[in-house]
Structure 1
Amino acid sequence: MKFRRSERLVDMTNYLLEHPGQLVSLTFFAERYSSAKSSISEDLTIIKETFEQRGIGSLNTVPGAAGGVKYIVNVNRGEAKGFIDELCRVIASPERLLPGGYLYMTDILGDPQTVNTVGRIIAAAYAKKRVDVIMTMATKGIPLAYSVAHYLNVPVVIARRDNKVTEGSTVSINYVSGSLKRIQTMVLSKRSLAEGSNVLIVDDFMKAGGTVNGMVSLLEEFKATLAGIAVLVESEKADERLVDDYTSLIKLSGVDEKDKSINVAQGNYFAAE
């Protein structure tokens, strides 16, 4: 079947967006559309320019017989800031306040569109770094970890607080919970993480950082390298913060149960700019 150029452009764009971080050869596209490689190269140039102008990402070209193109995710700075500001407004609703000063976040982390956008924003910050695996804890942050993993084209490993028979032998550590100030256990299947992997830790909420710090310690048992730490929400007034170097989208600066007020602002995501 012979494709018109407009059809090729639409289908190629869709394919690249669905396969971020994957090297795609010109031969693959040429055979897919029954077109000459020179035509494919021209199409990719158009897509590349559009991606860069819109802040969607970039197309990296790898020369040679085994080369091709690779889509690297990015975000439009203005759109990302607008999204985070809107998310701050949503989180600041007094109706989210739960007894004990906790916030109701289940609906946010259960909304595919929101999780997809958050994952894209986080992935964009680490797209040019070497990340082999996304690691998270068995909490509400799992969907977020999978979203980031999709945009970086890497697998997800999940640390748990108890053993699962289906995961085989595990490595376990004890860590101090930053918020609860008590010893807890964290386990990870031996088969889930290869030695020497570069790991990006992703979590939905960080208070003192005890859980995140526990995951960092667990990586040491696998002789893995920490590529970064990214969280959706951080608590600004956490005592004895156990983690210093991290990326956050939203900062929770205060909760007043009496007045039913929640103060949130942009995190440090744009601080490096």
Structure 2
Amino acid sequence: MKRSNRLVVLTDFFLENPRKHIQLPYFVELCDTTKSSISEDLDIIHAVFQNQGMGYLQRSTGAGGGVKYIPEFSQSNSIEFIEELRKKLEDPSRILPGGYLYMSDLLGDPKTVREIGRVFASAFSKVDIDVIVTVATKGIPLAYAVASFLNVPVVIARRDPKVTEGSSVSINYVSGSSRKIQTMVLPKRSLEDGANVCIIDDFMKAGGTITGIINLLSEFNARVQAVGVLAEADDDEEERVINKYISLVKISNVDIKQNKIEIQAGNYADTNLNRH
């Protein structure tokens, strides 16, 4: 196989199989070439990935040595995307009755959702994560987007048990927005004991729902390694019940009378979990 063809084949493989460790003999057989040629190809792909702010190839030596692609949006690319997202959300036409913000168009756009997933996956690229957990809301597409870059499964906590999912564990929790007691359930087969978990949600006000997920996960002895929310509310009247999380944008003010929305960048750039 010619080098130009090999580069296409290898690049496609890495993009489709992020964070998957593969030994070099696999690529030697796939491309019908030598180990030294594959090594040179990997140097080229690694350089291009880094130059384009797409991540890097992590290589290891020894008997079990190989390579895996770590997708990592560069800091500048991430900040630029968040700024674009912030401007879109400040459109006054998004204001709904009651002071709510219309976001379904963004969460329904595959390209936007994919980029959101890429930003979160970049922030958590150094964190040991086995599974993405979300609740059955509009955060589901975000969870799958993050999972696609981290190459891990998604588990969804629901309001009601499903017969098709077998026996479940349930808890009651206080919703941060409505202050009502709600129920959250998770099938017993959905998580292995002691799994490393990343929680993804679309919106956080006081953090009651995420706290509920954390309490539910404790029943599985799961370790919550990271929490990511697309948007958080900057509400002085609500006491935030969690403080370790990453947000992309912060909704500062929704003024129905003035027909104005103020959106700030979230804590993505300055969180301790983020890359430096």
Among 149, 152, 171, the residue aligned to 1:151 = 149
Q: Is the 8 A contact 2:53 2:77 kept in 1?
A: no
Tell me whether 1:6 sits opposite 2:4 in the alignment: yes
Q: State the partner residue of 2:240.
A: 241
Q: State the partner residue of 1:31.
A: 29
1:94, 1:251 → 2: CA distance? 16
Q: State the partner residue of 1:178.
A: 176
Q: CA deviation at 1:76?
A: 2.1
2:12, 2:53 → 1: CA distance? 16
Q: State the partner residue of 2:95.
A: 97
Q: State the partner residue of 1:109.
A: 107
Q: Which runs of 4+ in 1 moved over 6 A?
A: none
Superposed CA deviations along residues 168-227 of structure 1, whole A, max 9, x for unmatched, are 000000111111111110000000011100100000111111111100101111001011
Structure 1, unaligned runs of 5 or more: none
Tell me whether 1:258 sits opposite 2:257 in the alignment: yes
Q: Is the 8 A contact 2:195 2:223 kept in 1?
A: yes
Superposed CA deviations along residues 214-259 of structure 1, whole A, max 9, x for unmatched, are 0010111100101110011011115111111100001111111111
1:250, 1:160 → 2: CA distance? 25
2:74, 2:130 → 1: CA distance? 25
Q: State the partner residue of 2:118.
A: 120
SS in 1 for 2:203: strand
Q: TM-score, normalised by structure 1?
A: 0.97
Percent of matched pairs sharing the same residue = 54
Q: State the partner residue of 1:160.
A: 158
After TM superposition, the structure 1 stretch with the greater mean CA deviation from structure 2, 52-61 or 252-261, is 52-61
SS in 2 for 1:228: strand
Q: CA deviation at 1:64?
A: 2.5
Q: CA deviation at 1:11?
A: 1.4
Q: CA deviation at 1:157?
A: 0.2
Structure 2, unaligned runs of 5 or more: none
After TM superposition, the structure 1 stretch with the greater mean CA deviation from structure 2, 129-138 or 237-246, is 237-246
Q: TM-score, normalised by structure 2?
A: 0.96
Tell me whether 1:191 sits opposite 2:189 in the alignment: yes
1:167, 1:138 → 2: CA distance? 14
2:152 partner letter: V
